[in-house]
Every structure is written in structure tokens, then in C-alpha cells.
């Protein structure tokens, strides 16, 4: 893989990581103007990190991110269920996909994000639970 492909892959990964930031629905006043989305998210994050320290998100942002992660996890499970059963016709593929997803999220939260974003352990654990709880519940209730 050449350097251009690697940069594109990292750019796509980063775009997915900051998707909740870009879709932040709450308005914040920045320089006398009410804004939403990424500007609002960044202003709120800066405010909380100034109050609580670097790496701290505050209750409002942390709750928003965890709800976003939880909802995204459910959306991925639903989409994977339909796509894998439609194309492969087997629930075994879904179980393998969910286990692989849990392993990837574990790697991401406890290794990648700690290195790339200096993520705190507490945030990694909360993110991991929000992502993996729906998949775990699905696996335990459907695996026979």
C-alpha cells in the first residue's frame, strides 16, 4: 500500500471518528453568534476542557457521544442483520461479524484512541460499553 492510500484510509477513519462532532445538534454562542454542528461542539468541548482539564468531556458532551455510539451500534446491527442474511443467507456470518466488531472496537478504544487522541481510560470504557452492549445483548439472546 502506498502512502496516498494510507493517507486516504486514515482520513476516512478520522472522518468517521469525528462524525458525532459534525452532527452535534445543540447550539452554542461563539463570538456573539449562535452556531451548531462542529463549531458548537468544539466550543463546548473547549469550555469543558478549560473547566475540568484536557481529555474531560463534561456530562453534556459525554452523554451525547454515548447516545450517538449506542444508536450507531444498533443501526449497524440492524443493517448487518439484513445485509448478511440477504447476501449470505446465514446467521453464522452475522455472529462472526458481531464478534469481529467487538474485537475491533476493543482494539480501537483501548489502543488506537489512547495513542491517537490521548483518550482517557474512563472514556474508552464508556465508549466500549456503548458500542458493544447492543452487540453482546444480540449475541446472547439470538445465539443458540
| Domain boundaries defined on the chain | 1-56, 57-144
* 22-76 confidence digits (pLDDT tens): 999 999 999 999 999 999 999 999 999 999 988 888 899 999 999 999 999 999 9
| CA angle in degrees (0–180, nearest 5) for 19-94-16 | 10
DSSP H or E segment with residue 81 = helix 58-87
29 forms beta bridges with: 34
Q: Report pLDDT for 116.
A: 86
- 102-114: burial string, b at 16+ Cβ within 10 Å, e else: beebeebbeeebe
Amino acid at each position: 500500500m502506498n502512502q496516498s492510500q494510507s493517507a486516504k484510509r486514515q482520513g476516512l477513519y478520522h472522518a468517521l471518528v469525528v462524525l458525532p462532532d459534525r452532527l452535534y445538534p445543540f447550539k452554542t454562542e461563539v463570538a456573539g453568534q449562535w452556531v451548531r454542528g462542529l463549531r458548537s461542539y468544539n466550543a463546548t468541548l473547549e469550555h469543558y476542557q478549560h473547566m475540568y482539564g484536557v481529555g474531560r468531556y463534561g456530562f453534556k458532551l459525554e452523554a451525547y457521544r454515548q447516545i450517538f455510539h449506542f444508536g450507531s451500534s444498533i443501526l449497524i446491527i440492524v443493517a448487518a442483520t439484513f445485509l448478511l442474511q440477504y447476501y449470505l443467507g446465514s446467521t453464522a456470518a452475522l455472529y462472526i461479524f458481531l464478534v469481529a466488531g467487538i474485537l475491533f472496537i476493543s482494539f480501537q478504544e483501548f489502543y488506537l484512541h489512547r495513542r491517537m487522541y490521548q483518550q482517557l481510560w474512563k472514556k474508552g470504557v464508556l465508549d466500549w460499553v456503548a458500542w458493544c452492549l447492543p452487540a453482546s445483548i444480540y449475541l446472547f439472546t439470538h445465539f443458540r
